[in-house]
Structure 1
């Protein structure tokens, strides 16, 4: 863990789930966190940032001068903004421009995903947006670092579960032995805090709290549960792609960044191996307490 005493980091997105965890991780390091929030942010969310130790800076992101002033004197701007094009490209783009205008030396964009530098354009809407922003940040006069963490580990038991307790099965597509990258949000936040304080951080950093295949997950659940779990193949990647097309066609248009078909696109990028993280940079800051998949799964038993 890096000592951030006397140092100032700007954080955009502190009112969100990952943002709140990152705020806490930075505060634990003694960092002064300038939490830049939209002036329309609800009072309760602003109060939560203050309670978490952040220095709240409400600003109109459309006011270039005000946003630039909000970032003056910080050593790194970290974005954990979440959304579709109006957020990832437009809002985050304004943040990038203001950081450059303020003379901020470093910028961490809101990537936090599988490795979209290796995936195919057009396969994943959210990764395409991040790819477009990457092209923009790479032409800006600022040093950027993207952090790739695979899937957040709550995918294992969350809204799109692959763990099926009723059937004692691990749902997968394609190959039961395909390695998959999972990292908890707390581990991502902890690592990102160190990256924000690292003036020599490279352009890309890749981390995974655990790397497990569907077959590995079945073995873990058998060990935890005492009953025999098995991998369950829902189909090949071609079938998954067909289902994505159908789901996307039938789904109403929405501004939600994680619609059902978008989650399916993410699973496809993981299951194909194209988004696999390699090499891993887990050891760069000496962090050893990574949360393994079994620890995430254990509360489900």
Structure 2
């Protein structure tokens, strides 16, 4: 019985090895011929730490994502389908990961040289294909530009993906290469894929941490912007550390254009949260109900976050000592 199980495991292991070999072969061979392999980086490693701007544009799309490195982190600039601008704090780790992925030395297999692609049609980057145009710059100095297209294929019963990459040299597209799919995580220009979704983002905090917070003030306003109540948490108070933790850990993946409304007077109720740091600076957030959810508008940049009633409750907007200020169904959640 044990021998039969052992034989089964051995056969299963052989199948896995053969499958991996088949996948590798599908990249390294074309029409039964070995493809030419090259080892290179998409972004010259010596320029990686100089990059302060990244542009990502889908082919045949007006919308472009521009990422810029600022003093306290990266920002992203985009627009919605109506062309309204959105300027938001970006996730520093995600952009660092993109640059690290672009600068690493990788194996790529040439599948079509530039001479074969001089005609009006390309079998790999047709004009109606969904591919992305990446540019890495320092201010206006271009370090690297390339096209990326993700392609799916199957090996047996399993699905795999690989990338087609086409560098742009001296403003002219070069050869097409096949490569591993490690850039797939970056093939999006949606702000939600790049934003720092924390209510108090790293950018808004200006490099300061929870340990630098000295005071948190909740100010609740009623109709017409009249102050209804105020609650202060100061360093040393019983619930201070918990309040700071809840605020700084709260986040959402829903990000959008900042509403055009004049804040305060137009809402039945709203809440402003102010975090004051040890150096006297502060970070502010205005929150107001919108249907069953809430809209949070930071005082920095030009964007809005959409949070659930659960998130609002976790930071003390619905429940807690000020719950009675929110009348109606929301106060019962």
Instruction: Return the TM-score normalized by structure 1.
Output: 0.25
Larger gyration radius, structure 1 or structure 2: 2
More strand by proportion, 1 or 2? 2
More helix by proportion, 1 or 2? 1
